[in-house]
Structure 1
Amino acid sequence: MQRRKWLVLNYNLPTEPSRNRVSVWRGLKKLGAVNLHQSSWILPYSTENYNALAQISMEIEAKDGDVLLLESTCVEEKYEQKIVETFNSIRNEEYREFINECEKYFKELDKEISIEKFTFAELEEEEEELQKLLSWQTKIEARDQFNAEVGEISREKRELIQKAFERYSELVYQYNEHRDKVQ
């Protein structure tokens, strides 16, 4: 069986200014890279991942850092499985956080319905929150290269929050349409 290829980035940056280290860390997290040890990060090999890591490597060097970008394979299946499990564990954690935020969103919509806060301004606010949640879930899913198990639950929650918003939107419309007819 042919082993999966990986990209491994190992770097060292001066401790000051700390914003340089934070910038690199954020870039790697956005890609979905996994931190193996200290400043050693890994991603599955792809042209897209290579180009992104090459860009980060140039950023590190421009900030007086040292960097190594390596193509690698695992010598045994068990090591590759361990890496995949690490990726999935991190994605599952991100999905769970998204699901928790969805639950808060449901409660917020329920509260607005219970107090009959059916204003257009509130509808816009809830729509903005919905768009943030949808965008966040899309970003997590883009990083989920090994189909983490909680991903399916997050897709279901995504559909449910969209339906909950549609329901709230319809209630706002009905309330305001009725109010306009009465006046």
Structure 2
Amino acid sequence: MYVRMKKIIWLLLTYKVPAEPSAKRIAIWRRLKSMGAVYLQNGVCVLPRTDDHIRRLKILENDIAQASGESVILETVALDAGQEEKVIARFKAERDEAYAEFIDKCDDFEREVAKEITAAHYSYAELEENDVDLKKLQGWIEKIAKLDFYGAAQAEEARRRLKGCERVLDDYARRVFDARGEDG
């Protein structure tokens, strides 16, 4: 028999805002998604209970009221281990989607650098452009990881792929420096 030592406490937000103007409704949705909230259904979402999430939801509660909407924030726990696992699975699935998209962008990055190598296009401008793209990937994975509250399955693969992108760019940089007759 599975015995839980400690229940996970979540913050449950229920809200409704007028359909128009849609920009306000979309802004609320974006803010919740940027916090890592998982929607259980329309206007009902959960987040792990943290002081930061409490603070941000209280601010959002005020914004919902300003948009002529209404909301309630509750602390909640799952009824049993099975229900808790369902919610955790939703969090993991959303992060896995984000990691999968990230991995696709790593593929794009590696193809772009390979194209430059195949064309023997070794310029500082191209190196700088690829460096900017790598920094975007690094920032993106940090954002995903910050919202990966329960350890999504794709996390390790995404980190491994980022390391591969870093190696690809290091190799390309050496080729640019060699082509220009400089030490890297």
Short-chain TM bin: over 0.9
The answer as to 2:20 corresponding to 1:53 is no
Secondary structure at 1:177 match in 2: coil
Runs of 4 or more consecutive aligned structure 1 residues displaced over 2 Å after TM superposition: none
| Pairing of 1:31-180 with structure 2 (within 5 A) | 31-177=35-181
Instruction: Give the C-alpha shift of residue 58 in structure 1.
Output: 1.4
Pick one of 25, 28, 34 that aligns with 2:32: 28
Indicate the RMSD between aligned Cα atoms, in angstroms: 1.0
Which whole-Å CA distance do the structure 2 matches of 1:117 and 1:108 have between them?
11
Instruction: Give the C-alpha shift of residue 149 in structure 1.
Output: 1.0
Which whole-Å CA distance do the structure 2 matches of 1:78 and 1:5 have between them?
15
Q: What are structure 2's unaligned runs of at least 5 residues? A: none
Which whole-Å CA distance do the structure 1 matches of 2:109 and 2:90 have between them?
29
Which whole-Å CA distance do the structure 2 matches of 1:151 and 1:128 have between them?
22
**% of aligned pairs identical?**
31
Between stretches 27-36 and 57-66, larger displacement belongs to 57-66
Equivalent residue, structure 2, for 1:181: none
Which whole-Å CA distance do the structure 2 matches of 1:164 and 1:7 have between them?
42
Note the alpha carbon deviations across 1:20-56, whole angstroms, 9 max, x for none: 0111111111111001111101001111111111121
TM-score in terms of structure 1 length: 0.94
Which whole-Å CA distance do the structure 2 matches of 1:121 and 1:58 have between them?
47
Note the alpha carbon deviations across 1:146-172, whole angstroms, 9 max, x for none: 011110101101111111111111111
Which whole-Å CA distance do the structure 2 matches of 1:2 and 1:159 have between them?
36
Note the alpha carbon deviations across 1:65-89, whole angstroms, 9 max, x for none: 1011111111111111100011001
Which whole-Å CA distance do the structure 1 matches of 2:169 and 2:152 have between them?
27
The answer as to 2:20 corresponding to 1:16 is yes
Which whole-Å CA distance do the structure 2 matches of 1:112 and 1:131 have between them?
18
Which whole-Å CA distance do the structure 1 matches of 2:148 and 2:88 have between them?
10
Which whole-Å CA distance do the structure 2 matches of 1:170 and 1:53 have between them?
48
Instruction: Give the C-alpha shift of residue 62 in structure 1.
Output: 1.4
Which whole-Å CA distance do the structure 1 matches of 2:61 and 2:173 have between them?
46
